[in-house]
Amino acid sequence: MTPAQLNAQFGIAGQLVFEEGQGGLTFARIDNAQGEAVLCLQGAHLVSWRPKDQAEPVVWVSDLAKYAPGKSIRGGAPVCWPWFGAHKTESGFPGHGYARTVPWAVTGSAVLADGATEITLTLIENDQARAQWPHNTRVELRAVVGAKLTLSLTTTNQGDAPVEIGEALHTYLRIGDIGEIAITGLEGCTYLDKVDGGQRKTQAGAVTCTGEVDRVYVNTTAACVIEDARLKRNVLIEKTGSAATVVWTPWTEKADKMGDFGPDGWRRMVCVESANAADNVVTVAPGQSHTLTAVYSAQTL
Ligand code: BG6
């Protein structure tokens, strides 16, 4: 659908407008009394979110992010689905699945009772997707933008055999400085340390960063808090339907290699990802649905 058609069917006066933006991609701009956000229809990729009581956005996007058909955007909240990280057997398949780089269709929009704005999207299957994922599934992303941000990813198995999915809401959170944050909520958890050959380790105390961190914490349904001394705020990440949490910062060398962080962009973000990955991939029975939900909020200290 064109932006004009989307506006006619799903636009909400003063709150939700669709427009063509960088790379010829279509974006939904949401602005209400409580918050503002931008969402790219490619990938159902929330690009940014700022609650109105915060001077700084809570969801970070790189100044050097590339917006182009078939490319993932550096920052925001990439939807990793239907696998997380590398595909189990096919090294040629894209990391974190294909959902984040294909077009999604808008299927609904609404103003909720508390004034927040809701938008719902469904992944559009194409031949490339079918070749990599020969299953009959429907996947939907629901975003609610207000003083809090809610992202819900629902997979419905429409086939007649169980399907196994890995997934993550790979959210990049804006922070003051990567060296000055502490992430609580993962104390005592087992994690797979991807910067140390995938070894299993146990988290002692809060997570702090002094170099690259790439960890899949397994068997954890707990909320996490990013304590941000520089921005003087706590960012709370609550979740349901998610048994793994991924923490990632590329640090300087990896960020330089990736090329789309800018000179110090990597210092201003950390990913705390609500996931089902590694030990915690999910099996969805025929006719059943599974929903992963993450709710983000910020509290000024
Ligand atoms: C994290 C992974 O979730 O995403 C990292 O744990 C990976 O290993 C990072 O480098 C970024 O991935 P991508 O594909 O968006 O560059």
Q: What is the per-residue pLDDT across 164-176, written as a single tens digit (0 to 9) for each?
A: 999 999 999 999 9
Measured in Å, residue 153 CA sits from the centre of ligand 1 at 19
Average pLDDT over residues 274-278: 98
Say if CB 258 and CB 250 are below 8 A apart: yes
Measured in Å, residue 85 CA sits from the centre of ligand 1 at 7
Query: Which atom of ligand 1 sits closest to the CA of residue 254?
Result: 10
pLDDT per residue as tens digits for the range 220-248:
999 999 999 999 999 999 999 999 999 99
Cα separation, 238 vs 121, in Å, equals 22
Cα separation, 95 vs 78, in Å, equals 12
Structure confidence at residue 263 (pLDDT): 87
Q: Is the pLDDT of residue 265 over 90?
A: yes
Average pLDDT over residues 194-214: 98
Measured in Å, residue 86 CA sits from the centre of ligand 1 at 10
pLDDT band at 14 (very low <50, low <70, confident <90, very high): very high
Measured in Å, residue 248 CA sits from the centre of ligand 1 at 7
Structure confidence at residue 156 (pLDDT): 98
Count Cβ atoms within 10 A of the Cβ of residue 90 and give its class: 0-12 exposed, 13-18 middle, 19 or more buried.
exposed
What is the residue whose two structure tokens read 């239907």? 82
Query: Which atom of ligand 1 sits closest to the CA of residue 85?
Result: 2
Average pLDDT over residues 75-91: 97
Query: Which atom of ligand 1 sits closest to the CA of residue 216?
Result: 6
Average pLDDT over residues 177-205: 98
Element (H, E) at 152: strand 149-157
- Average pLDDT of the chain is 97
Q: Using CA positions, which residue lies closest to atom 8 of ligand 1?
A: 214
Q: Which of 96, 193, 213, 256 to mutate to test the pocket of ligand 1 (most atoms within 8 A of CB)?
A: 96
Q: Residues lining ligand 1, judged by CB closer than 6 Å? A: 72, 95-96, 170, 194, 214, 246, 248, 273
Count Cβ atoms within 10 A of the Cβ of residue 188 and give its class: 0-12 exposed, 13-18 middle, 19 or more buried.
exposed
Average pLDDT over residues 261-275: 96
Average pLDDT over residues 136-160: 98
Q: Which of 64, 248, 269 to mutate to test the pocket of ligand 1 (most atoms within 8 A of CB)?
A: 248
Alpha carbon of residue 280 to chain centroid: 17
Domains for the chain: give ranges and CATH numbers.
3-300 (2.70.98.10)
Q: Is the pLDDT of residue 127 over 90?
A: no
The 8-class DSSP code of residue 298 comes to E
Structure confidence at residue 201 (pLDDT): 98
Structure confidence at residue 175 (pLDDT): 98
The 8-class DSSP code of residue 150 comes to E
Percent of the chain exceeding pLDDT 70 equals 100
Structure confidence at residue 88 (pLDDT): 93
Q: Is the pLDDT of residue 128 over 90?
A: no
Count Cβ atoms within 10 A of the Cβ of residue 157 and give its class: 0-12 exposed, 13-18 middle, 19 or more buried.
buried
Cβ neighbours of residue 188 closer than 8 Å, sequence gap 6 or more: 202, 203, 204
Query: Which atom of ligand 1 sits closest to the CA of residue 214?
Result: 6
- SS3 per residue for 76-133: CECEECCCCCCCCCCCCCCCCCCHHHCEEEEEEEEECCCCCEEEEEEECCCHHHHHHC
Neighbours of 149 (CB within 10 A): 24
Say if CB 45 and CB 32 are below 8 A apart: no
Measured in Å, residue 15 CA sits from the centre of ligand 1 at 32
Structure confidence at residue 96 (pLDDT): 98
DSSP string spanning 243-296?
-EEEEEE-HHHHHHHH--S-SSGGGGEEEEEEEE-GGG-EEE-TT-EEEEEEEE
Q: By mean pLDDT, which of 36-40, 41-45, 123-127, 147-151 is the weakest?
A: 123-127
